[in-house]
């Protein structure tokens, strides 16, 4: 199992403690009372921080695993918002080929990601120069999610599906697309999506 970049410091302590108390259990079953909860934490982190390979989909792809919570037009942009559940893979990916022209970190609150007020949460805004113009990906922290951990920097040129970062223990990812360059939004509110695999929109080739 591949563990997401930047997450081994979360996995190693419960891993070592699980091995330690498993050994002690050979001498006394009393140590099971310590081994079991620590091992459960280890399993949770292994599931939460997994980073599987993906078959990259067509068109513009989902930047995050989760459920589509919002699709709307804001002036000349489409906003597509994905909420990540605890069981989802939390590594985010590039929705389209492009070059990172700006990354901005905004400190803020840690409210529930589906609340309207969550727009004031801590977030990282990634502006991407693409063949269809500027595309923005916004990684938002949430109630449990406390840290956005980027894998990229300004000036990087990336391919669709490349990993761009992880939101540790959460939460929500928004993508903004230019309306005049989009032929079709291929998902609807409530749809489950997988980052890198599922198509969220098709480009207007005209």
Known catalytic residues? 171
Burial of 123 (0-12, 13-18, 19+ CB in 10 A): buried
Which H helix or E strand runs over 150? Answer: strand 147-150
Q: What's the rounded Cα separation, in Å, for the pair 169 and 140?
A: 11
Which is it for the CA torsion 129, 140, 179, 69, positive or negative? positive
In angstroms, rounded to a whole number, what is the distance separating the alpha carbons of residues 167 and 140? Answer: 8
Going by C-beta distance under 8 Å and a sequence separation of 6 or more, which residues neighbour residue 89? 50, 51, 52, 65, 194, 195
CA distance 117 to 148: 18
Paired tokens of 146: 């406390």
């Amino acid at each position: 199992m591949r563990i997401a970049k930047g997450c081994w410091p979360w996995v190693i302590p419960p891993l070592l403690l699980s091995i330690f108390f498993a050994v002690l259990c050979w001498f006394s079953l009393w140590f099971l009372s310590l081994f079991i909860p620590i091992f459960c934490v280890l399993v949770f982190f292994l599931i939460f921080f997994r980073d599987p390979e993906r078959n990259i989909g067509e068109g513009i792809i989902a930047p995050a695993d989760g459920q589509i919570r919002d699709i709307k037009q804001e002036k000349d942009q489409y906003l597509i918002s994905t909420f990540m559940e605890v069981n989802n893979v939390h590594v985010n990916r590039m929705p389209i080929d492009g070059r990172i022209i700006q990354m901005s970190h905004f400190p803020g609150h840690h409210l529930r990601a589906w609340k309207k007020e969550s727009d004031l949460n801590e977030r990282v805004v990634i502006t991407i120069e693409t063949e269809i113009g500027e595309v923005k990906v916004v990684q938002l922290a949430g109630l449990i999610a406390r840290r956005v951990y980027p894998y990229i920097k300004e000036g990087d040129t990336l391919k669709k599906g490349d990993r761009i970062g992880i939101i540790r223990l959460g939460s929500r990812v928004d993508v903004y697309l230019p309306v005049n360059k989009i032929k079709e939004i291929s998902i609807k509110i409530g749809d489950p999506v997988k980052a890198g695999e599922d198509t969220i929109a098709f480009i207007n080739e005209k």
